[in-house]
Every structure is written in C-alpha cells, then in structure tokens.
Amino acid sequence: MKPTFKGEEHSRGLKPAADREIPLARPNVTPAEIDAVVEVLRTPNLSLGPKVGEFEQAFARAVGVREAVAVSSGTAALHVLIRALGIGPGDEVVTTPFSFVASANCVLYERATPVFADIDAETWNIDPAKIEAAVTPRTKAILPVDVFGQPADFDAIRDIARRHKLVIIEDSCEALGAAYQGVRAGALGDAGVFGFYPNKQITTGEGGMITTNDADLAAMCRSLRNQGRDAGAGWLAHPRLGFNYRLPDINCALGLAQLRRLDELLSARARVAEWYIEELPVGGGCGTGISPPTAGLLQLQRIAPNVRMSWFVFVVRLADPFTEQDRDRVLSGLRSAGIGCSNYFAPIHLQPYIRELGGYRPGDFPVCEAVASRTIALPFHHELTRDDVRRVVAELCSLLA
C-alpha cells in the first residue's frame, strides 16, 4: 500500500526503503571483471595486445561463427560492415524504422540510402512482406534488427535475399545469446553485429563486435578498424582509407570476464522477465487477484515459437485506446515514483534529420508508429528482485486505472 505521507518523507529526504530508486538498466560487474582489467593495466599492452584476440575467439565460439572482430562500439561495427561490403552512394539498404538510430545511420555514413520496411504488429520485428515490397534494382543489403533480443524472421528474410542476391547484415546488438531454429543470433545473416554499452547483456563500457563465417570479410573489417592497415604490414602503410575503431585491451579483458559469466547473466535476466510476465495484468488481473480495470490494457511482444529470446529490455505496449500522451503521462508517473523507464524506440524515420533526408511524414510506417507511441521499457537488469518487479507493476497498474 502506498503510504499517504510519501510526499512528506521525500521532502525531508527520509525515503522509505520501499521507495528507493529502481534504475532502468544497470551493468553487473563483479570482482572478476575488476581483477581482469587491473591485470591489463599492469602490462604495457593497453591496445592491440593479446586480450583482443582472446576476446574475439571466445566471442566467436559463444556465437558459433568462425570469425569475430572487436571494434569500439556497435555503431562502429555496423559502419565497418557497410564499408567492407562496398555499399555506397546510389545503393539502398532495406531496414526497420523500429530500432536504435545506429542501424540506419551506418548506411548514411557511406552516403547510401536506408529504405524502411514496416514492422510486424506483434513481434515488432521487420515484416518480410514489407521488405519484399521495398526491394528495388538499387537494393544491396537487408539489415534486420533482432528487436529487444528476439531474432527477426530469418527464413523469410533469407529467401528474399537469395532471390534478389542481397547480403544480410544482422543487427544482433540486442540479442546476444538468442537463437532462431537453434542457430544463434549473430550467425543468422552474412555478418552479425553486437554492442557492449552498459545496458547490453554484456558490457565493455563501450565496445562492439562483428561476427561472420567469411574470413575475407573479417580481414577487411580488421583493416578498416585499424586505419586501413594490412595484417603484419608496416605501422605507416595504409593501402586503404580506414578508421580508428579499435577496442582497447582493457575493454577486451572486461568483455572476456563478462562473457565467462554469460549463462549466469542471461538466466538472471530471463528470471526477471518471467516475473514480469507472471505479475503483469496481460489478459487478466493485476497479479494480486484483485482483478482491477487494467485487464487487457497491456500487450507484450509476441515471441515466435521458433526463437529463443535473450531479454535485452522488458517492454510493455499500452493497448490502442491509449494515446502517446497517455503513454508519456505513465512514463512521468513512473519516474516520479522513482522507477526508471523509457519509451522504446522512437521511430527512426521521424527523427528530424532523417525526416528531412527522406521526406518522411507521420503515417508513413503506421505499424511502427502505433507501437512506438505506446511502448514503455520497464526497469530490467540482473539485480532486480521479485519485490521490485511487484512494485513496478503495482505502480503501472495504478497509473492505468
């Protein structure tokens, strides 16, 4: 029950324990990670040292691919792939408007054109039928995103790619540990991409990874991340235009220690997701048996039967009668109760610069917009307790009632 003196307690700075802040996301770093980082700091190899290869090999094994290339962020990984695949001015890449902006920005960095295909209303992943309709003679690649940790519909996507001779870049940044028909995320296209920002399943602070079975593509990515140098050639020999997208050994050591804990991290996240699914009033009452008028007002992402989910964030969608204004009111209500939350995602085609570039208007991708305007990401990380989840759900229910 909510204490009626809550406001007073806040004003006196005496927050009751039950009202401590619950953050939206939080990295999970143990002494093992701290020791691994400190160990690197005692060596002279802070970059381009042995931890890079160790992290890459362990990561390739975890995803089930032959090659992994560590870079400085998930965005850098996407950019390097677009460049390595020779995608440039005049080329089109079909991708989803319901994603983090990096999955479209990487195409713009190379002066190519992102072409959006709307999403499925229930899985929130790119809709293969809309991809098919978006393909033109200029299309070079399909860039699906494994949204919130659910692999996209790869059977259908691979079929389209085969028929039109397109390469598939899988943005698997949110899906480390997920699988589609037993094949792990990151191994589902011609190349996969991961990011290790602190809200991801594993973190390196900042960092990213490219995964592929194509050794030539991996070699080109290694050159591009390192100023266009070739392996084993001189420090000042640059056969091509490259970038400094290297991931320091300090970060690689952190990533290696996190990767060793992957199963533990993923199962803790899955447990929290299970608690939300049990507590949320989806199709029923508010988990308390009181059956409040919130039944049926929330929807969850539909998980396709042939995927294994790796939970990245936990998102609820308000049902259609709710408006974007209602959603924003719920967000600010949760925040004033000390509960971290966010809209997830904002449609990419409506970001001001992309809107201007592509001449987009509200209504262009109606399914994406209908979902994006009603989503709420709830606190989701390793350290949440069942009581935290109950408090979040109770607050959400009272804001919807």
Ligand X SMILES: *Cc1c(COP(=O)(O)O)cnc(C)c1O
Applying CB under 6 A, the residues found at the interface with ligand X are: 73-75, 99-100, 102-103, 145, 171, 173-174, 195, 197, 208
Least gap, CB of 40 to ligand X (angstroms)? 21
Contact 43, 49 (CB under 8 A): yes
Closer residue to ligand X (CB): 118 or 174: 174
Least gap, CB of 148 to ligand X (angstroms)? 9
Closer residue to ligand X (CB): 71 or 115: 71
Least gap, CB of 145 to ligand X (angstroms)? 5
Closer residue to ligand X (CB): 26 or 329: 26
Least gap, CB of 131 to ligand X (angstroms)? 17
Q: Which residue number places its CB atom closest to ligand X?
A: 74
Closer residue to ligand X (CB): 75 or 294: 75
Convert 289-301 to b/e letters by CB count within 10 Å (16 or more is b).
Answer: eeebebeebbbbb
Residue type, 163: R
Least gap, CB of 74 to ligand X (angstroms)? 2
Catalytic machinery residues: 200
Closer residue to ligand X (CB): 102 or 167: 102
Least gap, CB of 180 to ligand X (angstroms)? 16
Closer residue to ligand X (CB): 76 or 134: 76
Q: Which one, of 314, 324, 316, lies nearest residue 381 by Cα?
A: 314
